[in-house]
Amino acid sequence: MAQKAAKTLATRNGALLNRTHMISATLHVLFLVLHQIFQRPRSLKPYFLLAVPTLLIEYYLDRVGRPSYNEDGSLRSAGEDLNATGLTEYMWDILYWTQGCIVAVCVFNDRAWWLWAVVPLYSVYLAYTTVMGVKKGFAGMGGGAGEGAGDSEGAKSKREMKKEKRGDRAKVRTR
């Protein structure tokens, strides 16, 4: 049972990469065949501009996540975790969104490439929420000064709230 986690990661990465390559190849070939059959009046510029860079992302994910084996079949390296959060997760989002856009272009027409505009908008949204979260985190470091100072009067303990709810507020004595 040596390196069970590494073997599991290698198996999961290999299966995920193989499935992704098959889906991606199928969609790209389908798009190019449909483009040739129907002789669409538009050029392939949107395809090369928007879909081909995702092939570079797919290549990068394959280089980073593909497990490598020794000559005797033993596992040398399981590769990086392709389910990791952060930039890897964002790359998978771009890859899946582009595959969806290719399907939309095959079904509808070349105007469906405008769906790809969601990616930069999503990036701006993520950046905004991150900045606001950091700003809110720094605002709480004031140590009770500023806007949080007036809230301490209105804050009640759970015990006080329960007593007030029962109507026992008048029975509370202060010494």
Task: State pLDDT tens for residues 5-39.
Answer: 888 888 898 999 999 999 999 999 999 898 888 86
Q: Domain-by-domain residue ranges, the chain?
A: 4-137
Query: 163 vs 70, 82, 154, CA distance in Å?
Result: 70, 53, 15
Does residue 150 carry a pLDDT above 60? no
CA–CA dist 25, 55 (Å, integer)? 10
80 φ, ψ (degrees, to nearest 5): -75, 155
* DSSP 8-state secondary structure symbol assigned to residue 65: H
As a whole number, mean pLDDT of residues 145-150 equals 48
End-to-end CA distance of the chain: 67
pLDDT-derived band at 118 (thresholds 50, 70, 90) equals: confident
Q: Which of 51-60, 96-105, 137-146, 163-172 is the least confident region?
A: 137-146
Burial class (CB in 10 A: 0-12, 13-18, 19+), 13: buried
pLDDT-derived band at 149 (thresholds 50, 70, 90) equals: very low
Q: Looking at residue 143, what is its pLDDT?
A: 54
CB atoms within 10 A of CB 58: 19
Q: Looking at residue 168, what is its pLDDT?
A: 64
Q: What is the pTM of this model?
A: 0.66
Does residue 164 carry a pLDDT above 90? no
User: What share of the chain in percent tops pLDDT 70?
Assistant: 84
Does residue 146 carry a pLDDT above 60? no
